[in-house]
């Protein structure tokens, strides 16, 4: 009897152990699988993380009323009342070649243009609706022309596509729909599957009819309109089937743009998209891996052309934002909102030209760079590429900059902005205080000299080892 009992007990222990082993190995398998996906993501996003700086372009019929791309929703305009703007949108002087030249001059490496925004009007020759540019201007597929112009300048090309559609009859009256206060509209019947079919089919057109697309920027999820509501798994599978190397943003899921992301990160998108904000640190996934991200930023306060929005950021603020992003392993996607005829506002051109001048001298501290393993200094930021450490002196205070407790061997220190050697000293007026590394544009390091670039004077430190 005792013997039987012991056997039963032993059996139970063996079973529990087996269960535990199975459970543990399934956990392990999940981890391995995640790791594999994460490695693929790392490989796929390599050019993107190296590029660091791109141009966002919000262009569409909303440039006619000139009150931003949300005008239809903000002013609760019906499709019928919005139609005159759409009909009037026939920009004879649309020249994306000029945009591409400006992007290149600013030091940008890629671009993303709105193929369709929330108003539903398409800038491409879709077969699925007449609500498109080729109805207004036969033979002029603006997406195609944009892609050709940007590729010709050697820039990578991306397309923005709105998941939301205020024009489609099967898109419900939800979220910030322009008809949200119209009780009659609530009674309307809509067929969600039909809208999904349309949306998937349009994305398929974009993925199949325009050659290689480098980025797809889907926008955006809200409330329970996320993930499988969009049939995201099927959509992503289709996208990757036609464009295996495409980089996909993360807006098929809600909660984009949070300042710290701690979720598994290889499902519906390749990178996070904080909007109009700079995260406080680099972004990590559920396992602490640093993940790709891109802050998108307007030059004034609206994405689409807004004739009365004159709150322009300074070139200095933009350079700072770019450096800030790179120092935290992120990208900057900087927006322009061309006027209805396709001209980029003069203020935007001026800011981008200034940024371009800075990039001409200092871009090696941006491209292929990421965070340095050093605390953020009060005088600016660090970026790093292998053995090259870049000190971005954005906060021109008194005297020198100091890298406290710096224990790396340095082979050469130059002012990248001028190409001149920098002055370095490890003590302060002969004081033998340890752990300082003072740098200035000239000797003696303790005095104050005018900086060659008030926006950001970059000091390059060539290290002996990474
Ligand atoms: C938001 C806005 C949109 C803009 C986008 C850019 O989702 O709805 O107008 O295109 O952000 O990130």
Q: What is the pTM of this model?
A: 0.92
Percent of the chain with pLDDT over 90: 79
Q: Both 274 and 205 in a single domain?
A: yes
Domain match, 298 and 419 both? no
Pocket test for ligand 1, best of 159, 175, 219 (most atoms within 8 A of CB): 219
Q: pLDDT digits over 255-303, tens only? A: 655 545 566 666 678 999 999 999 989 988 888 889 999 999 999 999 9
Ligand 1 proximity of 220 Cβ (cutoff 6 Å): yes
> Is 13 a member of any domain?
no
Q: Which residues of the chain have pLDDT under 50?
A: 1-4, 6, 21-29, 259
- Is the C-beta atom of 303 inside 6 A of ligand 1? yes
Residue numbers of the domain that contains 444: 380-463
Of the residues 315, 331, 365, which one is the last residue of a structural domain?
Answer: 365
CATH code of the domain in which 72 resides: 3.20.20.80
Decide: 367 and 324 in contact? Cβ < 8 Å.
no
The pLDDT value given to residue 32: 86
Tell whether 118 and 55 lie within a shared domain.
yes
State whether 295 and 199 are in the same domain: yes
Q: Can you say how many angstroms the Cα of residue 186 is from the centroid of all Cα atoms in its chain?
A: 35
Q: Is 219 in the pocket of ligand 1 (CB under 6 A)?
A: yes
CA of 354 to the centre of ligand 1 (A): 26
Ligand 1, atom 4: nearest CA belongs to which residue? Answer: 303
* Nearest of 145, 127, 143, 147 to residue 135 by alpha carbon: 127
Query: Would 74 be classed as within a structural domain?
Result: yes
Q: How many A from CA of 166 to the centre of ligand 1?
A: 14
pLDDT (0 to 100) of residue 267: 66
Task: From the CA of 160, give the closest atom in ligand 1.
Answer: 10
pLDDT value at residue 288: 85
**At how many degrees (to 10) do helices 232-242 and 192-208 cross?**
20
Q: Is 69 in the pocket of ligand 1 (CB under 6 A)?
A: yes
For residue 275 and ligand 1, the question of a CB distance below 6 A is answered with yes
Q: Please give the Cα distance from 83 to 88 (Å, whole number).
A: 8
State which of 303, 331, 332, 337 you would mutate to test the pocket of ligand 1, scoring each by most atoms of that ligand within 8 A of its C-beta: 303
DSSP designation for 64:
T
Distance 375 CA to ligand 1 centre (A): 33
Tell me the CA–centroid distance for residue 117 and ligand 1, in Å. Answer: 9
According to the model, what pLDDT value does residue 164 have? 98
Using the 3D structure, point to which of 341, 365, 389 is the last residue of a domain.
365
Asked whether residue 88 is assigned to any structural domain, the reply reads yes
Q: Enter the DSSP assignment of 94.
A: -
What separation in Å is there between the alpha carbon of 219 and the centre of ligand 1? 7
Q: Are 325 and 295 in contact (CB under 8 A)?
A: yes
How much is the pLDDT for 253?
87
pLDDT of residue 2: 42
């Amino acid at each position: 009897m005792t013997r039987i009992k012991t056997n039963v007990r032993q059996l139970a222990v063996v079973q529990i152990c087996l269960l535990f082993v199975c459970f543990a190995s399934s956990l392990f398998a999940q981890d391995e699988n995640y790791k594999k996906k994460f490695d693929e993501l790392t490989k796929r996003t390599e050019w993107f993380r190296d590029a660091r700086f791109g141009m966002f372009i919000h262009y569409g019929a909303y440039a006619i009323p000139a009150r931003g791309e949300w005008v239809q929703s903000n002013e609760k305009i019906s499709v019928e009342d919005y139609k005159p703007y759409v009909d009037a949108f026939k920009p004879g002087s649309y020249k994306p070649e000029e945009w591409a030249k400006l992007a290149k001059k600013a030091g940008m490496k890629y671009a993303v243009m709105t193929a369709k925004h929330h108003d539903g009007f398409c800038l491409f020759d879709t077969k699925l609706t007449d609500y498109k540019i080729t109805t207004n201007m036969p033979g002029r597929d603006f997406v195609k022309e944009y892609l050709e112009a940007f590729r010709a300048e050697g820039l990578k090309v991306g397309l923005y596509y709105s998941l939301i559609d205020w024009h489609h009859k099967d898109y419900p009256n939800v979220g910030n729909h322009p008809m949200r206060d119209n009780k009659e509209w609530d009674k309307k019947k809509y067929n969600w599957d039909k809208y999904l079919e349309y949306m998937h089919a349009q994305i398929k057109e974009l993925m199949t009819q325009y050659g290689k697309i480098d980025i797809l920027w889907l926008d955006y999820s809200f409330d329970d309109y996320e993930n499988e509501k969009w049939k995201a798994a099927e959509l992503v599978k289709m996208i990757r089937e036609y464009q295996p190397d495409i980089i996909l943003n993360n807006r098929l899921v809600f909660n984009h743009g949070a300042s710290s992301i701690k979720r598994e990160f290889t499902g519906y998108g390749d990178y996070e998209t904080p909007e109009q904000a700079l995260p406080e640190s680099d972004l990590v996934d559920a396992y602490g891996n640093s993940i790709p991200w891109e802050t998108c930023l307007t030059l004034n306060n609206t994405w689409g052309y807004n004739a009365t929005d004159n709150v322009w950021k300074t070139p200095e603020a933009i350079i700072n934002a770019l450096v800030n992003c790179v120092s935290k392993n992120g990208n900057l996607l900087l927006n322009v909102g061309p006027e209805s005829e396709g001209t980029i506002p003069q203020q935007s051109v001026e800011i981008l030209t200034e940024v371009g001048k800075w990039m001409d001298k200092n871009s090696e501290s941006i491209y292929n760079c990421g965070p340095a393993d050093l605390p953020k200094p009060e005088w600016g930021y660090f970026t790093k590429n292998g053995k090259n450490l870049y000190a971005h002196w954005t906060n021109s205070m008194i005297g020198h900059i100091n890298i406290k407790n710096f224990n790396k061997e340095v082979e050469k220190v130059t002012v990248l902005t001028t190409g001149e050697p920098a002055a370095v000293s490890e003590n302060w007026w002969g004081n033998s205080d340890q752990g300082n590394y003072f740098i200035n544009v000239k000797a003696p390091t303790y005095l104050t000299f005018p900086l060659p670039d008030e926006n950001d004077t970059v000091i390059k430190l060539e290290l002996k080892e990474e």
